[in-house]
Amino acid sequence: MTIYQIKQTTSGAVLWTGQASDADSALDAMAREAGYTHFSALPDQIRASGVVATELTQLR
């Protein structure tokens, strides 16, 4: 597993940090923690403002 950090690109705010198998899974995990079923279920304003998942470290 890899640790990812998800940030809003416009403000630089960290939205989520945690383990996931890939960046798409990290985005879905962030959305689930926020009460949504998956990333594409987030409101358009959040997704449109730019969200990026960055790999921080790989766990062995």
Show the domain range for 43: 2-58
> Is-above-0.85 flag for pTM?
yes
- Would you state the pLDDT for residue 48? 86
> Residues of the chain with pLDDT > 70: what percent?
95
Residue 30: how many other CB atoms lie within 10 Å: 23
Rounded average pLDDT over 18-37: 96
Instruction: Please write the tens of the pLDDT for every residue from 31-53.
Output: 999 999 999 999 998 888 899 99
CA pair distance 16, 51, nearest whole angstrom: 11
Give the number of domains in the chain: 1
Residue 57 has pLDDT above 90, yes or no: no
> What distance separates the 2 farthest-apart alpha carbons in the chain?
36
Rounded average pLDDT over 21-26: 96
CA pair distance 28, 47, nearest whole angstrom: 12
User: What is the tally of helices (H) and strands (E) in the chain?
Assistant: 2, 3
Query: Which uninterrupted H or E stretch holds 51?
Result: strand 51-58
